[in-house]
């Protein structure tokens, strides 16, 4: 144990924990003074994301009671095994946001531990592993950690001045990450605005003129139903929400041999019937060629006259997919948009060369975004390594050092 440090437990440095309550809300975040209840994803990645909330239904407003407060730490007591125990430090008060029952708020007063240092300790990979190991639950998708198990997590506690110096150093890395995150968000906003202008013809690229034509998607897309295997043997595709891409689905449990799957090919358009209204669209990438999905994730071959990337950008806009709300089949939480309804949709299309030029411009912005995101990931990895050294005492920081 490092000289001057003490072996303690979280209960020795935390004297106040409070949980929210479960309230009902819709899928949209609270806006313009509306009240929202946080999602567990608001603290999934070590940085508080206040936008990850659900607008509270009017009938439940009087039940919401715990607001995120400046100087506190919010911890997820229930999540997947990878994310249970995730936490974030709160920099300011949020009067219009409330905690759900799956989030705790830690507030400490008069305890010999710096809150900011404690937030870094809780966010460290070592601590997260310990908390995950103390979580219980039979579901493969959801684990819970009790308050007693959480407070029993062991802790190596440096002297208070050293805690503050460690927190100050790690906060500098957080500042760099915050700058990168703002750059990424600004780039996303730039792309969003440019995409809206180019994809609707409000802005034309140099060298292109003439009228766009309103045409049905059925003219350019054909549903693919090449038989594949079944749920026990298929390598499966999944489509992420909000146009975040197509990936191989990793499952711990096998599916049913009675479920029919269909082969999918690189370059095909794919969407989720169930999450159509949440922007679950993508194009199958080359490295996933030959993987399979059920008819709940239909795929389409592109016919001549339509640039795939142009269409993907076009249909990933909320203005496009929300028009299908009235024709979706099923209840409020299980509404599906069927392929035949999708193919009936008419879109304003420029000639193919202009489609390709627009797709090229937007792809360039995507590449710039990806470069910034890779840089942010690299900085995050470096910060995690430094956290491990400082929080275990393998590297000591002298309090009198300037930095």
pLDDT tens for the chain, residues 1 to 403: 889 999 999 999 998 899 999 999 888 899 888 999 999 999 977 789 999 999 999 999 999 999 999 999 999 998 888 888 999 999 999 999 999 999 999 987 667 889 999 999 999 989 999 998 999 987 657 889 999 999 999 999 999 999 999 999 999 999 999 999 999 999 999 999 999 999 999 999 999 988 999 999 999 999 999 999 998 899 999 999 988 899 999 877 777 889 999 999 999 999 999 999 999 999 999 999 999 999 999 999 999 999 999 999 999 999 999 999 887 887 766 789 999 999 999 999 999 999 999 999 999 999 999 999 999 999 999 999 999 999 999 999 987 654 4
Distance of alpha carbon 35 from alpha carbon 25, whole angstroms: 10
Say what the pLDDT of residue 402 is.
41
Distance of alpha carbon 291 from alpha carbon 286, whole angstroms: 10
On whether the CB atoms of residues 81 and 136 are closer than 8 A, the answer is no
The residue whose two tokens read 């607008």 is 55
Q: How far is CA 38 from the centre of its chain?
A: 14
> What domains appear along the chain, each with residue ranges and CATH number?
6-157 (3.90.220.20), 159-212+350-403 (1.10.287.1120), 213-349 (3.90.220.20)
- Tokens encoding 336: 């599906």
On whether the CB atoms of residues 243 and 279 are closer than 8 A, the answer is yes
- pTM for the model stands at 0.79
Name the helix (H) or strand (E) containing 105: strand 103-106
On whether the CB atoms of residues 237 and 248 are closer than 8 A, the answer is yes
DSSP letter at 249 equals P
Distance of alpha carbon 248 from alpha carbon 320, whole angstroms: 26
Say what the pLDDT of residue 400 is.
66
| Phi-psi domain of 177 (left: phi exceeds 0; alpha: psi -120 through 50; beta: other) | alpha
Return the half-sphere exposure (C-beta side, CA atoms, 13 A cut-off) of residue 82: 4
- Tokens encoding 85: 């125990």
């Amino acid at each position: 144990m490092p000289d001057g440090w003490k072996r303690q437990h979280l209960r020795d440095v935390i004297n106040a924990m409070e949980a929210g309550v479960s309230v009902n809300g819709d899928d949209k975040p609270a806006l313009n003074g509306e009240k929202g209840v946080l999602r567990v994803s608001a603290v999934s990645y070590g940085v508080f994301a206040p936008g990850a909330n659900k607008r509270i239904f009017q009938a439940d407003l009087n039940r919401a009671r715990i607001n995120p407060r400046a100087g506190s730490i919010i911890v997820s007591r229930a999540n997947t095994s990878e994310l249970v125990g995730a936490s974030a430090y709160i920099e300011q008060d949020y009067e219009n946001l409330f905690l759900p029952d799956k989030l705790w708020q830690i507030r400490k007063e008069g305890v010999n531990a710096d809150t900011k240092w404690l937030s870094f300790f809780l966010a460290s990979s070592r601590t997260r592993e310990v908390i995950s190991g103390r979580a219980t639950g039979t579901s493969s998708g959801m684990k819970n950690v009790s308050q007693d198990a959480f407070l029993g997590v062991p802790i190596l506690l440096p002297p208070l001045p050293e805690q503050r110096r460690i927190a100050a150093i790690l906060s500098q890395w957080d500042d760099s990450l915050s700058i990168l995150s703002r750059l990424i968000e600004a780039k996303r906003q730039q792309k969003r605005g440019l995409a809206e202008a180019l994809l609707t013809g409000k802005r034309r690229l140099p060298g292109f003129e003439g009228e766009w034509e309103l045409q049905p998607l059925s003219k350019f897309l054909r549903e693919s139903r090449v038989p594949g295997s079944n749920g026990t043997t298929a390598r499966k595709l999944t489509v992420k929400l909000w146009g975040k891409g197509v990936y191989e689905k990793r499952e711990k449990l096998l599916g049913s041999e009675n479920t029919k799957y269909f082969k999918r090919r690189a370059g095909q358009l794919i969407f989720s019937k169930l999450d159509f209204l949440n922007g679950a669209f993508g194009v199958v990438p080359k490295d996933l060629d030959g993987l399979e999905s059920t008819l709940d994730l239909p795929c389409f071959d592109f016919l001549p006259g339509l640039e795939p990337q142009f269409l993907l950008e076009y249909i990933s806009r909320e203005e496009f997919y929300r028009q299908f709300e009235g024709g979706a089949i099923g209840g409020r939480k299980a509404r599906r948009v069927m392929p035949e309804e999708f193919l009936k949709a008419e879109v304003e299309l420029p000639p193919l060369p202009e489609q390709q030029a627009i797709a090229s411009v937007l792809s360039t912005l995507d590449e710039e975004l990806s470069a910034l995101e890779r840089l942010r990931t690299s900085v995050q990895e470096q910060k995690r390594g430094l956290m491990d050294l400082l929080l275990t005492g393998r590297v000591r920081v002298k309090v009198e050092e300037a930095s």
